[in-house]
Chains A and B, each alone.
Chain A
Amino acid sequence: MALQSLDIVRRSATTTSSPNVRQAQTGTVAKLIDTTKCIGCKACQVACMEWNDLRDEIGTNIGAYQNPHDLTDQSWTLMRFAEYENPDKGNDLEWLIRKDGCMHCADPGCLKACPAPGAIVQYANGIVDFHEENCIGCGYCIAGCPFDIPRISKRDHKAYKCTLCSDRVAVGLEPACIKACPTGALVWGTKEDMQQHAAERVEDLKSRGFDNAGLYDPPGVGGTHVMYVLHHADQPQLYNDLPADPHISPAVSLWKGATKPLALAGIVLTALAGFFHYIRVGRNEVHESDEQAAARETERARHE
């Protein structure tokens, strides 16, 4: 791993274990998104595209401030806007704006779901990164993601998402979105520091009548390296359906449990050789024939 500037602790679909001697001795990193300071200006969206050399389409307006309309292979982060009349405050209006994007889960469903070796990695500092060179475009990372984040590019059929600017972090800089954020709604540091920062913010919010203010760091995915401060931590769904208790899809959990021993069995290799070619060349849509092939392999493995 001599060439590597960030130490990898996990990689997708790889049975050889990653080097684990070097650890994040001074703590893992985290981005804290304070929705209570966010004005929805989209500086983060622009800074992300600018730094990462991306340019989404010039789209249309569909009757909302949100643009582009959804995350794409070019838009790795997106402001989502919601108007909420707060019954606890005399139905005063609140404009709940949430920066959507990869949460960099400690227990990443995308990585677990990914069948392409080394296409998804997790660094010791907590960042979950996609290495598109290895991506086969199957889209399983999307199914594996409890937050519906990765997007497959129509141009190269590979999956893309926020890297947490691993190239900047590797040289000691903060991610581009964090640096740009005009109001300090995005802050950056060790996860511990960010949790402390969040605690101070929550105290301030409580003094302003937001009794349920809190930190969003969902345990169902092992906690995240992107966290939110919410005015209404008891109702994350108010923020454009932020999941209340995200978990990795049971499908992904299952395949982890089922396939690992299968893979280790090794006998399947020859039979699968032809199948690899297909996977590596085209988008891995599951056709009936694939399903039958998979069924055959499953059967064989069981009989071994």
Chain B
Amino acid sequence: MTNHWVDIKNADLVLIMGGNAAEAHPCGFKWVTEAKAHNKARLIVVDPRFNRSASVADVYAPIRAGTDIAFLGGVINYLLANDKIQRDYVIHYTDASFIVREDFAFNEGLYSGYDPDNRSYDKTSWEYEIGGDGFAHVDPTLAHPRCVLNLMKQHYSRYTPEMVERVCGTPKEKFQQICEMIGSTATPTRAMTIMYALGWTQHSVGSQMIRCGAMVQLLLGNIGVSGGGMNALRGHSNIQGLTDLGLLSNTLPGYISLPFDREQDYDKYVAMRAYRPLRPNQMSYWQNFSKFFVSLQKAWWGDAATAENHWAYDYLPKFDKLYDMLQVFDMMEHGEMNGYLAQGFNPLAAAPNKAKMTAALSKLKFLVIMDPLVTETSEFWRNYGVHNDVDSSKIQTEVIRLPVTCFAEEDGALVNSGRWLQWHWKGGEPPGEARTDIEIMAELFNRLRKLYQTEGGAFPDPIVNLSWPYIRPNKPTPEELAKEYSGRALTELVDPKNPTNVVRKRGEQLAGFGELRDDGSTASGCWIFCGAWGPAGNLMARRDNSDPTGIGQTLNWAWSWPANRRVLYNRASCDANGKPFNPERMLIAWNGKQWIGADTPDFKVDDDPTAGVGPFIMNQEGVARFFARGHMTEGPFPEHYEPFESPLGYNPLSRNEPRAVSNPAARIFKADREALGNVAQFPHVATTYRLTEHFHYWTKHVRLNAITQPEQFVEIGAALADELGIAAGDRVRVSSNRGHIEAVAVVTKRIRALNIDGKTVHTVGIPIHWGFTGLARPGYLANTLTPFVGDGNSQTPEFKAFLVKVEKIADASPASGQKT
């Protein structure tokens, strides 16, 4: 989230699209009902289903799954064509005036530089015109035909209301009504918030859907302001924290990317990431990259990380390609993986195409499970009748399952979607012999280290030299680890301008990332968390909920990254002179000497606004980007592409380009492309989702949740049910080209048949919560059906739009799903 949960109460308009906050985040959704009740806010829900969020919406519009860019592109077209933009904001705080290179082009769904053989682009032309001084050319009059705003106008002029209706199936009048409501927030005193979640990320164009939403918000001046923002609701309780801590194949803590093979030279590795400003006078904060990186290496390898060995640069693995989940499971299926560890993760249920996953796991030599619960993955080798019909004797994988504590049985911090790091305390003893993840990882490491110390082995250096300063090596405490990722001074730190002034004593915790240095004198395991455990102690455990200005800014409750800032880009809530656009909901303001207000300024606290430093301090431009340059895989502007399994089979926006039907740069492997189904065999559009009664595959183990939603079902619109002779409560079979499930049919008016380019398209809703272990009635894993295709940037699988066929099961007796 750019903003945070409570701030939603300040919104004048809420757009929920690509998410279902009422269903999946009910207690956060309360701030929507608060905005409605006490701020006269209106709520718009755009979704393939009339869902629980829609049940309290002022306006609901249906949309075909996977066509959100067509819808949002239509909104951009409306805003630009009708001048519903916050002009000052757009001119001063975005790249609207930047001039794009002459060789940049877009034609029939493809951008310049496409390489069809590698399904990727040469992005050289996706760049601003850069002058000899290294700065981008701009035209503040916005007259230049190749300025970003004019290119955008041209690009989205194709997204007419008629086109939106043809592609999305959204009735034109509803679309028009929504555009007008959204356009009303272009004034500086009205704000719209966009709330989205996996309904946007789980598409082959997921990242671009989110960008497209952000572009709408930038045109309206809704980023950085109270009640505005792009608010990713996020999934698990610490999915934000683990992402911040870099637990992804290609990242290190604090959004530092790992080096490629070719980055053999440490200085070049740093230079590539220490982005230079693209306009005069801009902060471009990533210029401090080396301070973050060196402090991380010092936290991990201590004295072994020295200036001479480039801070143990060679200890880090270098990658030749991404080893994301889809890549790794594909390798596993091909017998290229031997071992796998699943810590609190149930990939058999959570990854696409269960048949492929079973085949992959069966090829492993060993699988290690660490979990509080009996996951399907841990028992993938066991026969559970129709729900997991495998032959144990043919599966040669050795499986070791370790019992882990749950939240209630340990101390520690979680990061919520509003970036708050909140400490929690242990309240009970774990069952049996369960241990914490920390203890397990520590003891496993100590055993490995001992083996390498005594036996030697492949490149033992990073293992034997790993900094392990914990008082009890097999039981590091959460406090020790939190202090380590926050950071401390390794030597006495003095003020470079006044060496007699000692800033931090040796060993003292640091107050923030501004104190980090790249000479090895500081250590911080995650620079964006620096200060969470500062000189004053554990700020994550703070519990002062006072809100002095009444707009929900509780700065002394817990601690948020970065620098306890609650609304990112909050400098953009003020005009060029530092006066708040909306004084009623002031976040910060310039008082002539410094920035003050209800939030930590996202700006240098004493920088005079008239100096012209832009509010988007992390960007090289100093402003926000409509034009993504080379940062996205499939193009600088979001473009509609069909889901990989499309009910049309063509892209109405680029009818004549077969390579642009679906995302030309999305992740798909050859065998998985062959496993795609077509509309002739699988005529119905399916989308998977969560229910509010359940959380993924955990709560089927929880009696109270099993009671409130006991049995697997799918949702079918009344029109499709009529067509197929299905009544509520009948059992149906839902098949894709990868497998089938059987479930009870919930027949509903809440799913409408859509008219897509003259053709009737039915949507089938597939809740994901059932499986073959747990207290709820046994069911099929929903990912039996889903395609193994990922977004081009995030590699997130396309769970939200694929093709199935629904059939009534003639024999009404319940499927045999007895446990063995």
Contacts and interface: CB of A to CB of B under 8 A. Distances in A.
Bind each other: yes
B708 A42 contact: yes
A64 B746 contact: yes
Contact of A60 (B34, B711, B749, B750): B711
B798 interface: no
Interface in B777-818: 777
A38 to B, nearest CB: 8
Interface in B725-759: 727-730, 744-750
Contact of B56 (A39, A57, A92): A39
Given A55-B703, A201-B37, A60 B710 contact: yes
B478 interface: no
Interface in A34-61: 36-43, 45-46, 49-50, 55-61
The interface centre, meaning the residue of A93, A97, A185, A201 with most chain B CB atoms within 10 A of its CB, is A93
A42 to B, nearest CB: 5
A68 B707 CA distance: 7
B696 interface: no
A57 B707 contact: yes
Contact of A184 (B30, B745, B775): B30
Nearest to A56: B707
B29 A183 contact: yes
B777 A60 contact: yes
A67 B463 CA distance: 53
A42 B712 CA distance: 17
B55 interface: yes
Interface string A53-94: 001111111111101100000000000000101000000111
B116 to A, nearest CB: 44
B478 to A, nearest CB: 28
A182 interface: yes
A93 B707 contact: no
Nearest to B28: A182
Contacts of B729: 61-64
Contacts of A65: 709, 746
Contact of B750 (A61, A93, A182, A184): A93
A58 B33 contact: no
A95 interface: yes
Nearest to A207: B40
A154 interface: no
Contacts of A61: 709-713, 729, 744, 746
Secondary structure class of chain B's binding surface, majority of residues: mixed
Contacts of B53: 39
8 contacts: A36-B56, A40-B692, A41-B693, A58-B706, A58-B707, A64-B729, A67-B710, A92-B60
Given A37-B37, A57-B707, A62-B744, 8 more contacts: A37-B33, A39-B29, A39-B55, A58-B775, A67-B709, A68-B708, A95-B52, A185-B33
A204 interface: yes
A208 interface: yes
Nearest to B33: A183
Contacts of A92: 60
Contact of A93 (B60, B709, B745): B60
B43 to A, nearest CB: 10
B591 to A, nearest CB: 37
Contact of A41 (B26, B40, B746, B775): B26
A45 B33 contact: no
Interface of B: 22-23, 26-27, 29-30, 33-34, 36-37, 40, 50, 52-56, 58, 60, 692-693, 703-713, 727-730, 744-750, 775-777
Nearest to B706: A58
Contact of B692 (A42, A49, A201): A42
Contact of A182 (B30, B728, B776): B30
B748 A83 contact: yes
A55 B710 CA distance: 13
B704 A50 contact: yes
A207 B705 CA distance: 37
Contact of B50 (A63, A68, A93): A93
Contacts of B728: 62-64
A184 B693 contact: no
Secondary structure class of chain A's binding surface, majority of residues: loop
Contacts of B34: 184
Nearest to A41: B692
Nearest to B746: A63
The interface centre, meaning the residue of A85, A182, A183, A185 with most chain B CB atoms within 10 A of its CB, is A183
B32 to A, nearest CB: 8
Contacts of A204: 36-37, 40
Given A97-B55, A201-B37, A39 B26 contact: yes
Contacts of A64: 728-729, 746
A83 B750 contact: yes
Nearest first, the 5 closest Cβ-Cβ pairs linking A and B are A63-B728, A63-B729, A182-B26, A61-B711, A95-B55
A46 B713 CA distance: 20
A56 B709 CA distance: 12
A39 B22 contact: yes
B241 to A, nearest CB: 23
Given A49-B707, A63-B745, A95 B30 contact: no
A83 B52 CA distance: 12
A208 B729 CA distance: 35
B47 to A, nearest CB: 12
Nearest to A94: B55
A43 B704 CA distance: 10
A97 B749 CA distance: 15
Given A39-B23, A184-B37, A95 B54 contact: yes
Given A39-B22, A59-B710, A67-B708, A183 B30 contact: yes
B471 to A, nearest CB: 39
A56 to B, nearest CB: 5
The interface centre, meaning the residue of A43, A65, A208 with most chain B CB atoms within 10 A of its CB, is A65
A59 B708 CA distance: 9
Nearest to A92: B60
Contacts of B709: 61, 65, 67
A59 B705 CA distance: 11
A41 B310 CA distance: 54
A182 B29 contact: yes
A94 B52 CA distance: 11
The interface centre, meaning the residue of B26, B707, B777 with most chain A CB atoms within 10 A of its CB, is B707
A67 B776 CA distance: 13
A97 B54 CA distance: 12
Contacts of A85: 749
A41 B52 contact: yes
A93 B26 contact: no
A42 B777 CA distance: 19
A34 B23 CA distance: 18
Nearest to B692: A41
Nearest to A200: B37
A40 B55 contact: yes
A38 B50 CA distance: 15
A290 to B, nearest CB: 37
Nearest to B20: A39
Contacts of B730: 63
A55 B707 contact: yes
A39 B54 CA distance: 9
Contacts of B748: 83
Contacts of B56: 36-39, 183
Contacts of A95: 50, 52, 54-55, 750
Contacts of A50: 704
B58 A208 contact: yes
Interface string A176-192: 00000011110000000
Contacts of A38: 55-56
Contacts of A201: 37
B723 to A, nearest CB: 17
Interface in A201-259: 201, 204, 207-208
Given A42-B693, A62-B728, A95-B55, A183 B22 contact: yes
Interface string A115-156: 000000000000000000000000000000000000000000
The interface centre, meaning the residue of B29, B52, B776 with most chain A CB atoms within 10 A of its CB, is B52
